[in-house]
Amino acid sequence: MKWILGMLAGLLCTGAAAQVSVENPWTRPTPPSAKLGAGYLTVVNAGAADRLIGASSPAAARVEMHVTVRDGEIMRMREVKEFSLPADGRLELKPAGAHLMFVELKRPFKQGEKIPVTLKFERAGELKVELRVSRQAPAPEHPKH
């Protein structure tokens, strides 16, 4: 009986993860001595409301979630514990806004590489993505008709 419940729980998690996808994952190349890098992407949610509660990557000691806020005339980054993902909605991580912060890079990000990242959602579980290293944001993907 326990194994049946385990299988059902696994199927439910798999179904939830299928509701969340990622578009245009990217990051910029970093200088040789850089210890930080930023990651950008758009999370598309085709299901119930969820929360992005963490991320990890073998490319850095840790991955934090940040927002950029104005403090007078200065823009500052602040770490946050989660990002809300609305039901049937989108979460955009972009330059000068919400983003992933790679801390203590293992080595520089080089043009053309792909950086593996695991996103952790409260409901959808884990989603593995690769961020393309590029000097500029990729062109937005257009829905296929």
pLDDT in tens, 85-109: 999 999 999 999 999 999 999 999 9
Say if residue 114 is exposed, middle or buried (CB neighbours under 10 Å; 0-12, 13-18, 19+). middle
In the prediction, which pLDDT does 30 show?
A: 97
Across the chain, mean pLDDT equals: 87
Report the alpha-carbon distance of residue 120 to residue 58 in Å, rounded: 15
In the prediction, which pLDDT does 138 show?
A: 76
What does the pLDDT average to over 3-22? 55
